[in-house]
Amino acid sequence: MKIGILSRNSELYSTRRLVDSAKERGHTVSVINPLRCYMDITSHHPAIHYKGERLEGFDAVIPRIGASITFYGTAVVRQFEMMGVYSLNESVAISRSRDKLRSLQLLARKGIGLPVTGFAHSTVFTDDLIAMVGGAPLVVKMIEGTQGVGVVLAETQKAAQSVIQAFRSLKANILVQEFIKESRGTDLRCWVIGSRVVAAMQRRGPAGEFRSNLHRGGSAEKVRINPEERSTAVRAAGIMGLRVAGVDMLRSNHGPVVMEVNSSPGLEGIEKSTGANVAEMVIAYIEKNAQHGKTRTKGSG
């Protein structure tokens, strides 16, 4: 097979592991920077050009689209879909998962466990918003943030009022969520491929930090998840329409609650903490499922 990996940096751990695994299984692989692609949008002969040449003959693409380039990156994925190329995660599913509010609304509609969440843009009724999620302590998030950036824990009513008012002055869209104190600064990252969880790790934030992101100095270890957590992860990925996803959950007193469904989860943390060859599983999934024109959305949406 001829596989394209849409990534801005060929030296990233995740990109290198996917390239190596694909080559080990006998495939031809190209790393393509989506921001360097330019597209011919025509009715019957859509095309993508890269470095002065037309990209042709690809059987599948693996989107590794960073949050900062979601708009253009998904446009490139959509163009590949229009050309009949199989995309591991489709453009609509990536866009859906990147919109934090939309993704939470979709998960809630399907009955997935979530933290009690409020959403606001500019409200002077701060106390009502705080009461909506059960009062302090609570977590305030800028809806555009990633990797723990723009996430603040407000431990008291006064602190919550101050943080919300500060974000309001930025004219930012914000999420206000209950603080799941029983998770004790840890969360679960479940790697879903197709209809099963292939690996799971527990992430823990450094001392004094409630965010468990590895990019913020957190640590990770292999963890055994229960059937409810496994089912929740698979269902959440399916609701987003993602074939491959990293589903982040907290263990609460009332069961697992989903925090985020990531369309481009990193490989380094999960592989090093669990010992699982997740990159090879991704390539094996593509081998089994990739077909020309096998796109659920046909480039729409």
Give the confidence band of 146 by pLDDT, cuts at 50, 70, 90: low
Q: Return the bridge partners of 119, or none.
A: 175
CA-to-CA distance for 209 and 256, rounded, in angstroms?
Answer: 21
Give the confidence band of 297 by pLDDT, cuts at 50, 70, 90: low
Q: Identify the weakest region by mean pLDDT among 37-46, 85-94, 114-123, 185-194.
A: 114-123
pLDDT at position 298 is 45
Radius of gyration for the chain, computed over Cα atoms and rounded to the nearest angstrom: 20
Q: Identify the weakest region by mean pLDDT among 7-11, 40-44, 120-124, 251-255.
A: 120-124
| Residue 99 CA to its chain's centroid (Å) | 10
Phi, psi at 117, each rounded to 5°: -130, 135
CA-to-CA distance for 270 and 277, rounded, in angstroms?
Answer: 9
Residue keyed to tokens 């996803």: 245
Domains and CATH numbers, the chain: 2-96 (3.40.50.20), 117-179 (3.30.1490.20), 182-284 (3.30.470.20)
